[in-house]
Structure 1
Amino acid sequence: MARRSFSEPGTEDPLTYAVNERDKSILSMVRSALATGNTMLAFQPVIGSVTGEPAFYEGLIRILDDSGRIIPANQFMDVVETQELGREIDCAALRNGLGALARHPSLRLSINMSARSIGYPKWTQILKRFLTRDETIGERLILEITESSAMQVPELVKTFMADLQDKGITFALDDFGAGQTSFRYLKEFYFDIIKIDGHFVHDCDSDPDNQCILNALITIGQQFDMFTVAERVETRGEAQFLVDAGIDCMQGYYYGAPEVRPSWFLPAKAAGIRQAG
């Protein structure tokens, strides 16, 4: 009998099989965590270039396994972004973020979402419930949409933004410069904030190419009257170049790592608040 080759249909080599089984296990853990509400946010400050103080915080979703350990996002995020599970993660991030805004009246917070969650009934219901309870939440909420996600459905994003900006909600274009944003759409989107992709920030104090790109992106933001934020600032030299270039805010490990329990944080139970589902 001839031996079957791993290249034959219906067969997998051992490494591919192991990777696929691992992915299935991780996705199963993510589904279980979302079903039980085993999620939280890590908060990273976005620092004003002039004041040196937090202008707002970004809330980054963290998903926990049954033992309470954080499941690394890089192990599942690329897979779930195009699935229903990705929308459920957006819902969890929104719920946690709005809960934090409800407990901290002076907090301004940005939350990530995919354009795929626009019109998703569960996501919309969560937002409406919190806004009904406290209309000031909308004025302190920033929704971050990645450049690549926004360009998949630009007309839908424009309508979505227009509707929610009327409620005081701010919008940020995340990872700006990494995607394929048409300047026509950039003008029509009316994003309030652009967050410049960290690849251009790396070594910007010594890399002339990144310096040129950053100066151009900052100028674009200023021309369109958008607040500019540099992501992944990690050194004093990078921060100084950005300040001199006219950036409005900076975010990165130089100013602080994401924390699940920053000094100001008050959990829902301590505040006596029941989060809206």
Structure 2
Amino acid sequence: MPRRSFFEPGAEDPLSYALAERDRSTLRMVREALEAGDVMLAYQPVIGALTGDPAFHEGLIRVLDGSGRIIPATQFMPAVENEELGREIDCAALRCGLEALAGTPSLRLSVNMSARSIGYPKWTRTLQDWLARDETVGERLILEITESSAMQVPELVKTFMTDLQDRGITFALDDFGAGQTSFRYLKEFYFDVIKIDGSFVRGCDADPDNQCILAALITIGQHFDMFTVAESVETQAEAQFLVDAGIDCLQGFHYGAPAMRPDWLVSAERRAEEHVKV
């Protein structure tokens, strides 16, 4: 009997099999890390255009493998976007963010979530438990929802936002301009912050098309009384153009890469240790 070729119809070729097995292995590592609590946030400053100081920080979830190394999010986030594991990642990000807010009273922090987690019992319970302990964490918490996620269930997002904004929580529309936002919904959403997608920011100091789009997006934010943030700012020239264009805040490697132990966190931990000793 002739040996079957890997490339016959219906059979996986060796490369596809290897890639699929790698993906399965990565998801197993992510699941095990979440069960063990091997997650933490990396913090990136969001800088006020007029002050030059951090207006808030964004907390980006980092999942660690058994050796303590970061599992690149690009290797698992697309695969878990609409899965239970994705909701668990949102829960872990929220928990880490709330712990950071409780431990650092001067901190204002944004945490990413997806519309998939609205109504997810564990996510809701995590938030309600922390608000019951200390309502000030809600006043300093910003929840970022991507434009593409919000547009999947706009009516649900609107109700969710209204309920939590009454508790003092701020909402940011992430990756603004990259998706398919209906301006009818934008008018009704009442986001507090819009974060303009980095694809329009990169090279904006020299790209007339990006300059035109940025001017329009900033104007929309101002008209609807929303705080505007430019993402992915990488050069001083880009930053200066954005400041001149009227942006409120800037975020990107030009101001600092995400750091898991920024100076303010180290200082907060040191103060907590000294308080325990006293």
Whether these two folds match at TM > 0.5 is: yes
Distance 1:268 1:205 in 2: 40
Question: How far apart are residue 11 of structure 1 and its match?
Answer: 1.6
Distance 1:30 1:220 in 2: 39
- Match in the other structure for 1:50: 50
Mapping of residues 89-238 of structure 1, within 5 Å: 89-238=89-238
1:20 aligns with 2:37: no
Q: Compute the TM-score of the two structures, normalised by the length of structure 1.
A: 0.95
Distance 1:217 1:245 in 2: 11
Q: Structure 1's 13 and 191: CA in aligned 2 closer, same or farther, altered over 3 A? A: same
Question: How far apart are residue 163 of structure 1 and its match?
Answer: 0.4
- After superposition, the CA RMSD in angstroms is 1.5
Question: How far apart are residue 74 of structure 1 and its match?
Answer: 0.6
Question: How far apart are residue 106 of structure 1 and its match?
Answer: 0.7
Count of residue pairs brought into register by the alignment: 272
One-letter identity of the residue aligned with 1:97: G
Question: How far apart are residue 223 of structure 1 and its match?
Answer: 0.7
- Match in the other structure for 2:265: 265
Q: 1:117-139 deviations in whole A, cap 9, x for unaligned?
A: 00000000100111000001100
Distance 1:143 1:160 in 2: 11
Q: SS where residue 265 of structure 1 aligns?
A: helix
Question: How far apart are residue 82 of structure 1 and its match?
Answer: 1.2
Q: Compute the TM-score of the two structures, normalised by the length of structure 2.
A: 0.95
Distance 1:126 1:145 in 2: 18
- Match in the other structure for 1:81: 81
1:70 aligns with 2:67: no
Question: How far apart are residue 4 of structure 1 and its match?
Answer: 3.2
Q: SS where residue 101 of structure 1 aligns?
A: helix
Distance 1:115 1:268 in 2: 33
Distance 1:131 1:246 in 2: 35
Does structure 2 conserve the Cα–Cα contact (< 8 Å) formed by 1:99 and 1:268?
Answer: no
Segments ≥4 residues shifted beyond 6 Å: 267-270
Question: How far apart are residue 264 of structure 1 and its match?
Answer: 1.0
Q: 1:204-233 deviations in whole A, cap 9, x for unaligned?
A: 000000000000000000011100000000
Q: SS where residue 69 of structure 1 aligns?
A: coil
- Match in the other structure for 2:276: none
User: Could you list the runs of 5+ residues in structure 1 that have no partner in the other structure?
Assistant: 273-277
